[in-house]
Chain A
Amino acid sequence: MIFRQILIVLVASSLGIAPMVASAQGAATVKVGLIDTISGAFAQVGTDTQHGAQLAIDEINAQGGVAGHRFELVVKDEQLNPTATVQALRELQAAGINITMGYASSADCLAALPVAAQSNVLVMGSNCIATALTTTKFDKHFFRIAPSDAMLTSAAAQFAHEHFPTISTWDAYAPDYVTGHDDWNFFSEKLRRLSPSVQTGKAVFVPLAAQDVRSYVTALSSALPAESAKSHGLYLATFGGATAAVVKQGKPDNLFGKFAATINVGGSEPTAAQLGADFPDAWFVYDYYNRAYNTPMNRHFTAAYQKAYGDAPNSWSYEGYATIYALRSAIERSKSVDVSQIITALEQVPVVTPKGTLRYRPDHELAQPVTVFECKGDASAPKQYSCPHWVTVPAEKVAK
């Protein structure tokens, strides 16, 4: 009996179908490893991604699975730590799981990708956005669900050009790391190409872990001319706690009131939810906002997510959900759970998501629109904030 089981496992491994575990009762199972930050300061990223993925899995399994397989999610907490990410990847691989998704940060994806490539593991980057992953560090095992940072900043510049033509100068408040500087430069260059008369003003770069940012707020605020509220725009590239700090510590000086508009690249609704009535009027530039897409799938996703988790889905929930549906499309096309065949299928098959039917480009970047939506504190709203306006910047305008 034991010999027979070992033989089955060996044969399965040699055929490259390790993720499939035969079940005597019904369909085989394809296990998907979710490697994401489930604990720590950014736990909401991983938890919401997990919620979205689990919802998609429940729906697909309820419909009989895909190509005779049922999905199962195996969750690993990578604690926003590249070393822990690689460790989690190795553990999943040792357990025969060769399809992975999630990855909260670009550093995690960049650390995992060489290991994944060596062991023929698929990396569906649900959250990580570094452009290098589809350019200089490209590997066929990586597919991105979220838009790249280049796509986000490109969309931000496009939006600034189209919606705020009277703003003559854009200032920056951004995190002090390579991507923070590169994205600001990219935004400035694209904006100058679109509107040659637009200038860049004061750029303040803040350490990632800084909590007391009053000096940085003063440095930005004191550089503004008296009439800045008419002619200056703010490019804000922080998210989460860093945005909370600048909003709260900038309030006595009315920092955000000194700008005609604020564009927050990389921030999204959870930040507005955290700050409630304190949140200033700002335009988020990010992957998804549930009211911005009027597709049948998005309407269904929003309602099902609300029912399952008691709140509307955000970008991370969307990314988890879309990743599983992308995998379903690929497995349906290839009729296999072999990683090489899934990769080939992903390169060819249309991916059905709540944002619409999308396609992967040859560099494994998902050609997709970027969502821009305005949120502001509103003490009279049930959640103390509201998001009254939204637009989408089409895929062809955000191509890097």
Chain B
Amino acid sequence: MHNLFLPLVDGLGQGVLLFLIASGLTLIYGVMRVLNFSHGGFFMLGAYFTYAITRGHALPGPALVAAVVVAGLLTALVGALTERGLFRRIYPLPEISSLLATFALLLVFEGLGRLIWGIAPLSQPQSPSFLGLLHVGPVALPAYDVFLYVVGALVVFGLEWLVESTEFGRMVRATAADRHMAALLGIDVERVFLVMFSLGIFLAGLGGGLVSPLVGLTPELAVSFIIQAFAIVIVGGLGSVRGTLLAAIFFGLLNAYLVVLRPGLADFSLYIGMGLFLLFRPQGIMGRANRAGELSA
């Protein structure tokens, strides 16, 4: 029983991390209808910005958290500039064109990463505050995983509050439903796009910053999580934040349990999960309640 509880802890940790990466992706698709392949590039920037801020030193917990948030904000700034300079021209294009354009941008980010931070892998040390284990009954939870759970919960509730309970959220939902009608009703659609795009990119940067103490930093980080993130967004139901959370946790748990119970299949967990959903629920977890990619918390 105890052994079957351990994958639950690992799976939830994996799932929350994947959710943080994928949530920005689904947010941007839900409002702007852009499949943003360059999301992975922003994610990589968040990781490198964190490293640059900490100068590769192990900082106390609060300092690392502050560095990650600042890295997310810097990434959002880059995102806002990119939105003004490039994405605004992409919105009217067919999805295949925007996919190609954002893929090109992903390659640009990879190249820039190599140019700025070099080819040798870098390492962001973990904060000593997050290295321990928290004991809950018989189970030891890694402190950093618990921190990730908290961040994940904050992001979910924060986005839900923003989209469902604020005036701005109503404008966002109206814009997502019909941008032309929203503009006719006096909503500043360009501003909504800019804010929501920057928010989505902030989440990518935050995800990059949070993953930085767990992996080696190379420019290839830009592509390492993006396929999983896309799978999660599709399985969650395009544009649904709650669906993205459920899908991320589903994939995290599926992988963690396969590693223990069927190690030979663990490498295929992403494809097994996607295959199951494409067969039995192609619209995704929240697809029915969420009409054709309409934004919802």
Point out the residue from B121, B214, B259 that lies within 8 Å of A249, measured CB to CB: B214
Complex interface residues of chain B between 248 and 263 (CB less than 8 A to chain A): 255-256, 259-260, 263
B183-220: CB near A (< 8 Å → 1, else 0) gives 00000000000000000000000000001011110111
The yes or no answer to A40 lying at the interface (CB within 8 A) is yes
Residues on the A chain within 8 Å of B238, using CB: none
Are B17 and A212 in contact, with the CB atoms below 8 A?
A: yes
Point out the residue from B58, B119, B131, B259 that lies within 8 Å of A43, measured CB to CB: B119
The yes or no answer to B6 lying at the interface (CB within 8 A) is yes
Give the total number of A-B pairs whose CB atoms are below 8 A apart.
Answer: 109
CB distance from B226 to the nearest CB of A (A): 11
Point out the residue from B9, B216, B224 that lies within 8 Å of A274, measured CB to CB: B216
For residue B224, which residue of chain A has the nearest CB? Answer: A211
Point out the residue from A214, A241, A278 that lies within 8 Å of B125, measured CB to CB: A278
Are B143 and A252 in contact, with the CB atoms below 8 A?
A: yes
Residues on the A chain within 8 Å of B142, using CB: 214, 252-253
Are A215 and B256 in contact, with the CB atoms below 8 A?
A: yes
The yes or no answer to A174 lying at the interface (CB within 8 A) is no
The yes or no answer to A140 lying at the interface (CB within 8 A) is no
CA distance A136 to B13 in the complex (A): 44
A248-277: CB near B (< 8 Å → 1, else 0) gives 110111000000000000000010011111
The yes or no answer to A303 lying at the interface (CB within 8 A) is no
The yes or no answer to B123 lying at the interface (CB within 8 A) is yes
The yes or no answer to A312 lying at the interface (CB within 8 A) is no
Are A274 and B120 in contact, with the CB atoms below 8 A?
A: yes
Residues on the A chain within 8 Å of B263, using CB: 204-205, 219
Are A244 and B133 in contact, with the CB atoms below 8 A?
A: no
User: With A40-B220, A216-B259, A218-B6 as given contacts, are A211 and B225 in contact (CB-CB < 8 Å)?
Assistant: yes
User: With A215-B11, A216-B259, A219-B260 as given contacts, are A241 and B214 in contact (CB-CB < 8 Å)?
Assistant: no
Point out the residue from B7, B121, B211 that lies within 8 Å of A218, measured CB to CB: B7
Are B123 and A275 in contact, with the CB atoms below 8 A?
A: yes
Point out the residue from B14, B58, B131, B218 that lies within 8 Å of A241, measured CB to CB: B218
CB distance from A72 to the nearest CB of B (A): 24
Are A212 and B214 in contact, with the CB atoms below 8 A?
A: yes
The yes or no answer to A176 lying at the interface (CB within 8 A) is yes
The yes or no answer to A6 lying at the interface (CB within 8 A) is no
CB distance from B259 to the nearest CB of A (A): 4
Point out the residue from B120, B123, B132, B260 that lies within 8 Å of A252, measured CB to CB: B132
CA distance A222 to B260 in the complex (A): 10
Are A244 and B14 in contact, with the CB atoms below 8 A?
A: no
The yes or no answer to A47 lying at the interface (CB within 8 A) is yes
CB distance from B51 to the nearest CB of A (A): 12
The yes or no answer to A44 lying at the interface (CB within 8 A) is yes
The yes or no answer to B178 lying at the interface (CB within 8 A) is no
A10-25: CB near B (< 8 Å → 1, else 0) gives 0000000000000000
Are A244 and B123 in contact, with the CB atoms below 8 A?
A: yes
Are A211 and B14 in contact, with the CB atoms below 8 A?
A: no
Point out the residue from B9, B143, B218, B256 that lies within 8 Å of A41, measured CB to CB: B218
Are B114 and A39 in contact, with the CB atoms below 8 A?
A: yes
CB distance from A3 to the nearest CB of B (A): 45
Are A215 and B14 in contact, with the CB atoms below 8 A?
A: yes
Are A207 and B214 in contact, with the CB atoms below 8 A?
A: no
For residue B256, which residue of chain A has the nearest CB? Answer: A215
Are B215 and A214 in contact, with the CB atoms below 8 A?
A: no
Report A's interface with B, CB cutoff 8 A: 39-41, 43-44, 47, 176, 204-205, 207, 209-212, 214-216, 218-219, 222, 240-241, 243-245, 248-249, 251-253, 270, 273-278
Closest 3 CB pairs of A and B: A244-B216, A43-B119, A215-B259
Contacts A215-B11, A245-B214 known; list 14 others, CB within 8 Å: A40-B220, A41-B219, A44-B120, A176-B267, A207-B266, A210-B267, A211-B224, A212-B14, A215-B14, A215-B259, A218-B10, A244-B215, A252-B143, A278-B125
